[in-house]
């Protein structure tokens, strides 16, 4: 799914998900909200909806959010509605952690990531090479390194590997 044009990639993702009975709905980010995505079932739990916004617009956040939401469909109770709004509902904390782990480990295999982190080399070149070996966008690697505190969020040198998305609909 390594496509440089997000709209081309989204058309392919929408088609693949539709074949599985999942509708992908893309929404604008609503200002002053923290909503990245939502997942719920319709039609007596026969059809699933994954809704994603462009909160933050960074490629890594978008792809992680997509796989996080898909994890809810695969791993959790169809009666639940999952709304990723930046607030942790204590009753759903276990499911959120499971969805995070699913997305994290699906995007970058843990054994490869651990080896990469142990190398301690987080240059543009090493990140691009590692991303290619994992068949993911370099943005996903940079985003994970930032999330785990291994590189700073304000690292303009590496932020160049994190494109911001704009989709057409």
Model confidence, pTM: 0.87
CA dist., res. 66 & res. 140, Å (int) = 12
Which tokens in the block code for residue 51? 């809704």
**CA–CA gap between residue 54 and residue 52 (Å, rounded):** 7
> Residue 46's beta-bridge partner residues?
none
Q: Find residue 82's DSSP bridge partners.
A: 39
Question: What residue segments make up the domains of the chain, in order of their start?
Answer: 1-107, 109-162
* Per-residue model confidence as pLDDT tens for the chain (169 residues): 456 688 888 899 999 999 999 999 988 877 777 778 888 888 777 789 999 887 768 899 999 999 999 999 999 877 776 666 555 667 778 888 999 999 999 999 999 999 999 999 999 999 999 999 999 999 999 999 999 999 998 888 898 999 988 866 5
Tokens of 81: 């509605």
- CA distances to 7, 26, 35, 86 from 32, rounded to whole Å, are 25, 18, 9, 12
H-helix or E-strand spanning residue 40: strand 37-42
């Amino acid at each position: 799914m390594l496509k440089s044009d997000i709209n081309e990639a989204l058309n392919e993702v929408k088609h693949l998900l539709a074949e599985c009975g999942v509708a992908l709905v893309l929404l604008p980010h609503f200002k002053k909200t923290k909503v990245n995505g939502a997942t719920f079932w319709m039609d007596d739990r026969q059809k699933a909806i994954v809704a994603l916004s462009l909160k933050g617009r960074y490629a890594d956040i978008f792809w992680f959010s997509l796989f996080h939401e898909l994890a809810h469909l695969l791993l959790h109770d169809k009666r639940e509605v999952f709304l990723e709004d930046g607030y942790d509902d204590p009753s759903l904390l276990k499911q959120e952690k499971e969805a995070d782990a699913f997305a994290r480990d699906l995007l970058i295999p843990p054994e490869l990531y651990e080896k990469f982190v142990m190398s301690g080399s987080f240059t543009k070149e090493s990140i691009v090479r590692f991303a290619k070996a994992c068949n993911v966008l370099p943005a996903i690697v940079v985003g994970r390194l930032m999330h785990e505190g291994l590189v700073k969020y304000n690292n303009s040198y590496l932020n160049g590997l994190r494109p911001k998305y704009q989709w057409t609909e």
